[in-house]
Structure formats: structure tokens, C-alpha cells
Amino acid sequence: MARLFARNETLVTLILLAFCAVTAAIDPHFLSVPTLFDLLRNATVMAIFSVGVLLVLASGGIDVSFTAIAAFAMYVATKAMVALGFGDSMLVAILLAGGIGLLLGLINGFFIATMKLPTMIVTLGTLNAFQGFLLTFVGTALITQVPLGMRSFSRTMLVRMETADGSIVSLPVAFLILVIVATVTGLLLNRTMLGRSIYALGGAPESAARVGVRVVAVQYFIYAYVGALSGIAGIVHGAMARVANPFDLVGLELSVIAAVVLGGARLSGGHGTLFGTLLGVALVVVINNSLITLGIPTTWQNVVTGLLILIGTGLPAFRAKLAAQRAG
């Protein structure tokens, strides 16, 4: 139990609660179901991304290309469904986008696992290569007439409630996608040898290779998985926005990485939990929401996210430095 309180997640939870308290004090409407549903709706896509990024960080790597993969998968899937006329089912859309994302992720996997190149620079390259390819060869036009499947998806509600003043608030079924994704990934990380191998790879890469972890296979899996999840996040985003905009999503990667790092994942690898990651996303979303409530213009969002990254990584890093100095 004592160990629990020393964990990163506890700190994040406390900060989250503090922010909620402050915002609620200023705007009492904050603590209400509509707000909760709003937050969950806003957080869904980012949370799906962050679940994938957790895998990458846990393995000791970093991926900045996932938003480009998402945009690519979303746009290509939508365009294909419109052109070929088979967009009646959202499930098909999800499978298609996930599949495209998976293939793109395999490309990342090739450069990282087979060619053994540094992950940051590889994904910086593929970010631009994927987005550039999309905009050059696939198209730049917005698709406003999204297929039926996506449209009806965006209107399907998981929960529908009536508030005291008679208005209806709802939680979109997209949230269910997040729940499924998070549950599956959580089970993967905690209950399968594959998931443990990912942490092993991040904790001690040489030892992992020595004891027989199939490093190359695991890395291919990780980047394919992130790709697939990103594709799913992309198509969900496109469906919810009811427009396929190929310029969307890219630019979000820093906030996602910030959320995952805040949630306890370390850049050096081997650490990070699903719960912590979701907490991190919650924190980022709540803070952004609070800023609006507190009347701070959105132009300050970048500054706040940046400060969050610095504080979220700086405090544990500094503590570790002091501990190392004391040990001599």
C-alpha cells in the first residue's frame, strides 16, 4: 500500500482532483454529467492514440508519426468507401482504417526493428513522408459527404440522459471503442508474455535479447499495433467530425506524448501503465477544458501543455538526480 502512494499515478490523480476542485469552485456547472460527457467525448480520440503511444514508450522508443498515420488511414479509408460505395458499416470503416494504419506501422517497424535506426528520427521522417504522400498523391480536398456508416456512428449514442432542465445529454458510442481498445491493451500488457516482453525490452534491451525475447518480432508488433490503433482513432475522429480532412490530427502528437509521460511512462522505457496513461489524458483534457472555463484563451493551450511536460518530467527527473547524488 505504501508503495502505491509513491507512484506517479497518485501524484497525477491528486493534481487532477485539484484542478477539478478549482474549476468547480469557479464554475459550479463543471461538476455535472453534461460536462463529464463532454470531457469524455473530447478525450476519446486522444485516449485511443495514447494507448498506442504507451506501448512504444514502454518499449523504450518514441513515435511521433502516429497522427500522420491516423490522418492517412482516415482519409484513404473514407475516400475508398465513398468511391467504391461500400461505406454502410462503421465496422468495415474501422477495419479498413485499422488495416491501413497497421501497414503504415509496419513501415516504421522495418526501419526500427530491421534497420535498427533511432526511433525518434525514423518517426520524424515517416511523419513527413506519410503526410506528404497523403497530400500529394491522395488528395487535399475535404470529404464532407462521409459514408453512411460513419455518419450513423456519430449519431449513435451509448448513453442518453435527460438533465434537470430538460435538455438531453449523451455519450457517443465512440467512447465504447475507447473502452474496448483500453481493455484489450491493458490485458495485453499485463496478462500476456508479449506485453511483458515489451516492458522487458524497455527495461533492459540487452538482457531481453540474451534471454530469448524475439526483439525484432516484438518491435514489429508494437509499431503495427500503434499504427492500427492510430488508424482506428483517425476514422473515429473523422466520423465524429463528419468530415474527412487530411490536414487534421497532425500537430496533436506532442499533447499525446505529454499525456502519456505525465501518466508515468518514461522515455527510457520499461515503465508506464494503462491506468496512468488514461489519467494523464484525463489531466490534459481537464486542464484544457478548465482553461476555457477560467476564461484563458486557447492560444495559451500550448504554453500550458509545454509547462505540463516540463513539470511532469522535470519533477521525477530531478528527484532521481538528487537520489543519485546522495548515493554517490
Partner 1 sequence: MMRMDKQATPQPMARPRRPDPVRVLGSLAGTDMGRLFLITVLVFVVMSLLEPRLFPTRGNLSSMAFQFPEIGMLALGMMLTLLTGGIDLSIIWLANLSAIVAVMVMRQIAPDPAATGAWVCLAIAAGILASLATATVGGLVNGLAIAGANIPPILATLGTGLIFKGVATVLTGGAAMLGFPEIASGIGNGAVPWLGIPVPLLIFVAAAVLVAFLLNRTAFGLRVYLFGTNPLAARFAGIDNFAVTMRVYLLSSLLGAVGGLIIAVRANSAKADYGSSYLLLTVLIGVLGGINPYGGFGKVSGLLLAVLSLQFLSSGLNMLQVSNFAVNMTWGALLLLVMVINQGSLRFGRVRKR
Partner 2 sequence: MESQVEVRLEGISKSFAGVQALEGVDLTIGKGEIACLAGENGSGKSTLVKILAGVLRPDSGSIEIGGRRYPHLHPIEAVRAGVQVIYQDFSLFPNFTVAENISFNQALSSRRRLVRWREVREVARGALAKVGATIDLDARVEDLAVADKQIVAIARALLQDARLIAMDEPTTALTEREVRALLDIIRRLKRDGVSVLFISHKLREIFAVCDKIAVLRNGRKVADGPGSAFDLASLSLHMLGRRLESHAHSRVGSRGEELMRVERLGRAQQFSDVSFTLHAGEVLGITGLLGSGRTALAKALFGLAPADRGGIALGGRPVRIGSPQEAIALGLGYVPSDRLTEGLFLPQSIGHNIVVGSLDELSSGGLLERERVRGLTEEWVRRLAVRTPDADMPVQSLSGGNQQRVVLARWLARNPRVLVLNGPTVGVDVGSKAEIHDIIARLAAGGMGIIVISDDIPEILAACDRILVMQAGRVVEEVESATVDEDRLAARLAS
Positions that interact with partner 2 (CB under 8 A)? 3, 190-197, 199-200, 202-204, 206-208, 210-213, 270-271, 325-326, 328
Contact of residue 163 among partner 1, partner 2, none (CB under 5-8 Å per partner type): none
Binding residues among 62-81 for partner 1 as defined by CB under 8 A: 62
Which residues have CB under 8 Å from 293's CB, separation 6+? 23, 26, 27, 30
Distances (CA, A) of 314 to 8, 78, 232, 306, 322: 13, 41, 32, 12, 12
Task: Write the Ramachandran bin of 168: left for phi over 0, alpha for psi from -120 to 50, otherwise beta.
Answer: beta
What type of residue is 233? A
The answer to whether the beta carbons of residues 269 and 201 sit under 8 Å apart is: yes
Binding residues among 132-151 for partner 1 as defined by CB under 8 A: 132-136, 140
129 binds partner 1 (CB under 8 A): yes
Distance CA 266, CA 160 (A): 38
Contact of residue 136 among partner 2, partner 1, none (CB under 5-8 Å per partner type): partner 1
- Residues 307-321 as b/e (b if ≥16 CB within 10 A, e otherwise) read ebbeebeeebeeeee
- Contact window for partner 1 (CB under 8 A) among 31-39, 97-105, 143-151, 305-313: 305-313
Q: How far is the CB of 226 from partner 1 (least distance, A)?
A: 18
115 binds partner 1 (CB under 8 A): yes
The answer to whether the beta carbons of residues 208 and 71 sit under 8 Å apart is: no
Contact of residue 33 among partner 2, partner 1, none (CB under 5-8 Å per partner type): none
Footprint of partner 1 (CB under 8 A): 60, 62, 111, 115-118, 120-122, 124-136, 140, 205, 254, 257-258, 261, 267-268, 297, 299-310, 313-314, 317-318, 320-321
